[in-house]
Structure 1
Amino acid sequence: MTQGPMPAELPDLLRQHLQSAVAEMEREIRDQVPEYAGDDGGEYAKRVERTVSDTVAFFVDSVDHPNADARKLTELYMQLGEQEARQGRSLDALQNAMRVSSQVACRRFIMDAYRLGWSRETLGRLTDSLFMLLARVADAAAQGYAREQGQLATERERRRDRLRDLLVAEPSPGPETIAEVAVAARWDLPKSIGLVALPQGAPAGARILPPAVLADWEAPVPYLVVPDPEGPGQDRLWPALRRLGTAALGPTVPVGQGAVSLRWARHALSLAERGLLPGGAPVRCVDHIAPLATLAAEELVGATAGAVLGPLLDLAPARRLPLAETLLTYLQCGDNAVVAAERLHIHEQTVRYRLRRITELTDGRFTEPEGRLDLMLMLSWLVRTARAEKSA
């Protein structure tokens, strides 16, 4: 800042024109800042104008008291910044009001400098002091704004976390409670949700998700709440899930049944991690209903497999698996050996040979239509567990 003595009469001279300067600033603010337009500009506009008046008064006092304590003034600007954040507005209007005020002050300084014969040094010191003060209070407003935004973000995250927990609670707290918490969390309540179960330790860079997705990364089995997973607008979700590696999307359910979707998602994830469902990428429960149903009753299936599969279980694994795969595929293809061969990538005669071998081992038991569903479920369990053991 330009050095040199200030005229002794300067502070008193500025005080004489204090009210007219404030009045001019208020008029210019109302004319140039749309948010404060109108006769009164609203209660908040009045508060800004009072703060402008306090700022001008402090500036005038600081001319002959350069070490004046500005903490009270900066606190006022911090409060203004906080209020802007609470109202969901940017700082643009407040900053524009400060800019307009500085323009009025500089214009009046220049007029007085010519009228009263101030030196360039005096004018320079005045304008430098003004801009230093404005920078200081602008910084205070920005600090208040950032502080309040941080608190608002923290509170919103707490509300989103509470909503997330309610959506997977069992029993469900009811639609009214969920709707109320969703409004408080600023979360648009969807018609349905799907829960995604995730492996532990997802990298931070892979946790960038659409804002509507609620996440619990700290749960023993982390999970996501996805609104309307079958609806439009989920193009960004699947690439994000692929970055997370193995993941499982539970069935789409009404909002009050999130616990059901989460339970099946976690079951599917567990099976994928064991190699019983495809891994390395997201899996959808809706695409694996039969194996999920069978493997959900794995203890029962294992205990009764001998009664259904009989002699097949007595074979060595290297012989048992090809026969079980062939029979399962043959049944899935509607007893069509040609289609089964194409799906298994083997010759049709190989399929027929294996089927004859199964008939010999079981005395033709598997050709009977009765109990075919049980047989297919058992074979699916046998094939999946054998493949998982083989890959392990």
Structure 2
Amino acid sequence: MTKASAQPWRGLDASVLTRLEPDTAAIASAAMDQVRAGLRTPLDDRTAANLQVTLDVALHAFFSEIGHPDVTTDRELYRAQGRAQHTAGRSLEEMLGFYQSAALGVWRQLASAAPAVDLPTQAIVELGEALFAFIAELSAAAADGYAEARSQAARAGQARRDRLLGLLLAEPAASRDLLDDAASQAMWVLPGRLVVAVTSADVAPQLLDRMPGRVLVGRHHDLTAVVMPADRLEWYLGRLRDLLGHDQAGVGPIVPLRSAALSARRASALWRLTRTGALGDSPLVHTTEHRIDLLLTADPELAAEFSKDVLAPLAGLPEPARQRLTSTLAAWLARPDQPQAIGVELHVHVQTVRYRIRQLRTLFGGTIDDPAGRFALAIALRIDPLVSREPTKPSERSVHPLRPDDR
């Protein structure tokens, strides 16, 4: 595609301007009138002045480039105007509306002058097409500037939120004055109580732009932390559940603001346990429902060592036999000396249960009849699936529709 075809005003016959002899000042005035006519509220003086400058420069550029493929005027003014529009807190649509209204005003002035100089209809049509193509290019430059400013603001805003999240989860805890200052900069109201959820680092991108503004999302060590005020916790947890997809999150306890690190620490520990697959595939796994598991695995190396040593008699068995005896041992510890009930639970004949119990007594000796031994076996069986499995891939789960945002 040639420059002239991409920018049709460059391919026009420059004699069109010679015949029209456009009055730039009158055209600019008519364009401003057209802009004002489309407004519900009057322009403030500063905006009107900026628009007038833009109109003057744009008209000069348009007339300079008509019929001159090699003449190029700078588009930085329009990018700068887009950046300024965002900084002022005004919408991109408003500014582009100004551009379109101004273009209409310019076109009406040019079209009204055409009959007096016998400009052919085709030339008028081509001039109109070229004008609106020119305005589209200026609008694109302004939109680029607006997007650039929005992106910069988003990065700066996220950096402030990241700093606040880091201070909230720091150990030892940051001072209240430091938290207040960071919260003020991040424009985030510190809650009295909160909950921290933790999930995979890979989940951060899908949470950052879609969790409510009252929720902080950011990197915490090698994971993603989600800090949620307690006042609308069920709503925040519902949104988090919807966005997790096939991932899981560990949800810490509700704590006072000063104890946010504790909630994050427990949530992190629980999330790591979910990777074994032993806690099921629920999207949200709550620490309040797994405190025994957290307690037993607080020292993972010790827990794994303990479980391995206590269950060592089963280690040398073929896998099918080991699984059968493990399930029988767990059932027997829950219902000692109740082979009939154990048979019903395991869906096997009572004689099969008795046979397996004899095998267990042979393997473990008097341990399974000693209260302390049974206690150790019960703990080891609880720990074993939490420490002995390789991390699993997230299970397949459906993603529920999103609720309305509350930003």
Q: Taking structure 2 as the reference length, what is the TM-score of the superposition?
A: 0.69
Contact 1:195 1:250 in 2 (8 A): yes
- Partner in structure 2 of residue 223 of structure 1: 224
Shift of 1:324: 5.5
- Partner in structure 1 of residue 56 of structure 2: 53
Contact 1:295 1:381 in 2 (8 A): no
What are the residue-to-residue correspondences of 1:76-87 with 2, within 5 Å?
76-87=77-88
Partner secondary structure for residue 234 of structure 1: helix
Partner secondary structure for residue 237 of structure 2: coil
What are the residue-to-residue correspondences of 1:128-277 with 2, within 5 Å?
128-187=129-188, 189-190=190-191, 191-198=193-200, 202=202, 208-209=206-207, 210-212=210-212, 214-216=216-218, 221-228=222-229, 230-241=233-244, 243-244=246-247, 247-273=249-275, 277=278
Shift of 1:169: 0.9
- Partner in structure 1 of residue 93 of structure 2: 92
Partner secondary structure for residue 198 of structure 2: strand
Q: How far, CA to CA, are the matches of 2:170 and 2:89 in structure 1?
A: 32
**AA at the equivalent of 1:32:** G
Q: How far, CA to CA, are the matches of 1:127 and 1:164 in structure 2?
A: 54
Of 46, 63, 70 in structure 1, the residue corresponding to residue 73 of structure 2 is 70
**AA at the equivalent of 2:15:** P
Q: How far, CA to CA, are the matches of 1:54 and 1:281 in structure 2?
A: 61
Between 226-235 and 281-290, the greater mean CA deviation after superposition: 226-235
Q: Summarize the Cα distance change of 1:328–1:175 in structure 2 as closer, same or farther, 3 Å threshold.
A: farther
- Partner in structure 2 of residue 381 of structure 1: 379
Partner secondary structure for residue 238 of structure 2: coil
Greater Cα radius of gyration, structure 1 or 2? 1
Of 36, 50, 56 in structure 2, the residue corresponding to residue 30 of structure 1 is 36
Q: How far, CA to CA, are the matches of 1:390 and 1:138 in structure 2?
A: 61
Q: Report whether the alignment pairs 1:19 with 2:22.
A: no
- The higher relative CO (CA closer than 8 Å, separation ≥ 6) is in 2
Contact 1:174 1:256 in 2 (8 A): no
Q: Taking structure 1 as the reference length, what is the TM-score of the superposition?
A: 0.71
What are the residue-to-residue correspondences of 1:297-336 with 2, within 5 Å?
321=326, 325-326=330-331, 328-330=333-335
Q: Summarize the Cα distance change of 1:136–1:328 in structure 2 as closer, same or farther, 3 Å threshold.
A: same
Q: Summarize the Cα distance change of 1:339–1:225 in structure 2 as closer, same or farther, 3 Å threshold.
A: farther
Q: Summarize the Cα distance change of 1:280–1:221 in structure 2 as closer, same or farther, 3 Å threshold.
A: farther
Shift of 1:32: 0.4
In the alignment, structure 2 segments of 5+ residues that lack a partner are: 1-10, 316-321, 391-407
Q: Summarize the Cα distance change of 1:381–1:108 in structure 2 as closer, same or farther, 3 Å threshold.
A: same
**CA displacement, residues 195-239 of structure 1 (integer Å, 9 cap, x when unaligned):** 3143x7x4x7x952332454456x653122141474224323224
Shift of 1:322: 5.8
Q: How far, CA to CA, are the matches of 2:140 and 2:304 in structure 1?
A: 70
Q: Summarize the Cα distance change of 1:322–1:6 in structure 2 as closer, same or farther, 3 Å threshold.
A: closer
Q: Summarize the Cα distance change of 1:254–1:42 in structure 2 as closer, same or farther, 3 Å threshold.
A: farther
Percentage identity across paired residues of the two chains: 24
Q: Summarize the Cα distance change of 1:341–1:252 in structure 2 as closer, same or farther, 3 Å threshold.
A: farther
Q: How far, CA to CA, are the matches of 1:128 and 1:104 in structure 2?
A: 14
Q: How far, CA to CA, are the matches of 1:313 and 1:70 in structure 2?
A: 80
Q: How far, CA to CA, are the matches of 1:336 and 1:19 in structure 2?
A: 101
Shift of 1:121: 5.9
Q: How far, CA to CA, are the matches of 1:75 and 1:390 in structure 2?
A: 62
Q: Summarize the Cα distance change of 1:316–1:182 in structure 2 as closer, same or farther, 3 Å threshold.
A: same
Q: How far, CA to CA, are the matches of 2:66 and 2:274 in structure 1?
A: 74
In the alignment, structure 1 segments of 5+ residues that lack a partner are: none
Q: How far, CA to CA, are the matches of 1:129 and 1:295 in structure 2?
A: 72
> What number of residue pairs does the alignment pair up?
362
Q: How far, CA to CA, are the matches of 2:142 and 2:175 in structure 1?
A: 42
Shift of 1:159: 2.1
**AA at the equivalent of 1:20:** A
**AA at the equivalent of 2:110:** F
**AA at the equivalent of 1:162:** R
